[in-house]
């Protein structure tokens, strides 16, 4: 009643006979295309418009394939999360550039700034952070866990034999420090400012970095 394919299809097919743009049959490539589509979609649009349909559209394939290859959105998100385990390591130089890190304060100052930089130019992870504080589903919880575990691990490995000053709860302080960094970058990406502090130009960011250093030095000396 509404649509009669037997009438419509031949006409359409005749009107647009070419423009095949045939997707070559390659499961591996398609899977990658889907994963990349998902990542870039998440990075560019955020979790708000993140859905099966949108990913399929961007990947240029049918959503059915997402169900088949990843078992739906959940599986796809999990696949994204898998990369997260190595994010910090990949993003941040393992050796801190031959610097002499004599004290725990030296270390944390350096790591804070590195983390800030890394977050600043990884929109995907940034969106995930935003997601983590906005939703509390199994999906997101897994992402969150993967990320925080990797982070803790990384911190531990970088620490080496350095120890924080006596009487300072380093876990708590570091959590606050990293929370601050995440929120600053989040705010900046959403509104180009945070609590009255402009975060647009590189000059703005220098100010933020200086303040951050000061804070770190304040606690850790």
Which residues make up the interface to its own copies (CB under 8 A)?
46-48, 130-136, 140-141, 144, 148, 151-152, 168-169, 171-180, 182-184, 186-187, 189-191, 193-197, 207-208, 210-212, 214-215, 217-219
Q: What are the tokens at 118?
A: 């890394």
Torsion of CA 43, 138, 129, 164, to 10 degrees: -140
Shortest distance (Å) from residue 220 CB to its own copies? 8
Q: Which is nearer to DNA, 29 or 211 (CB)?
A: 29
CA torsion 71-73-78-80 (nearest 10°) is: 120
CB of 161 to its own copies, least distance (A): 20
Q: Any contact of residue 19 with DNA (CB under 7 A)? A: no
What does 211 bind: DNA, its own copies, none (CB cut-off 5 to 8 Å by kind)?
its own copies
67 binds, among DNA, its own copies, none (CB under 5 to 8 A by kind): DNA
Size of the site for DNA (CB under 7 A): 25
**Residue 61 contact partner, candidates its own copies, DNA, none, CB within 5 to 8 A by sort of partner:** DNA
Least Å from the CB of residue 3 to DNA: 5
Q: What SS3 class is residue 194? A: strand
The two structure tokens encoding residue 112: 């804070």
Tokens of 97: 């550039």
Binding of residue 166 to DNA (CB under 7 A): no
Identify any residues that bridge with 198 across adjacent strands, giving them in sequence order.
193
Q: Which two three-digit tokens encode residue 141?
A: 């919880």
Could you give the CA distance from residue 111 to residue 114 in angstroms, rounded to a whole number? 5
């Amino acid at each position: 009643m509404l649509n009669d394919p037997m009438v419509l299809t031949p006409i359409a097919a005749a009107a647009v006979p070419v423009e095949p743009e045939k997707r070559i049959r390659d499961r591996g490539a398609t899977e990658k295309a889907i994963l990349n589509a998902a990542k870039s979609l998440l990075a560019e649009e955020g979790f708000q418009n993140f859905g099966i349909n949108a990913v399929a559209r961007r990947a240029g394939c049918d959503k059915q394939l997402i169900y088949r290859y990843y078992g739906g959105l959940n599986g796809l998100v999990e696949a994204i999360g898998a990369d997260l385990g190595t994010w910090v390591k990949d993003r941040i130089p393992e050796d801190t550039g031959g610097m002499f890190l004599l004290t725990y304060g030296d270390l944390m100052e350096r790591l804070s700034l590195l983390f800030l930089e890394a977050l600043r130019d990884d929109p995907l992870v940034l969106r995930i952070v935003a997601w983590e504080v906005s939703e509390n589903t199994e999906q997101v919880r897994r992402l969150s866990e993967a990320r925080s575990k990797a982070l803790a691990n990384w911190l531990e490995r970088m620490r080496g034999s350095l120890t924080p000053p006596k009487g300072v709860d380093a876990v708590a302080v570091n959590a606050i420090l990293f929370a601050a960094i995440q929120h600053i970058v989040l705010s900046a990406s959403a509104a180009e400012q945070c609590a009255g502090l402009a975060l647009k130009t590189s000059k703005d960011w220098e100010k933020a970095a200086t303040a951050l250093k000061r804070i770190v030095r304040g606690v850790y000396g």
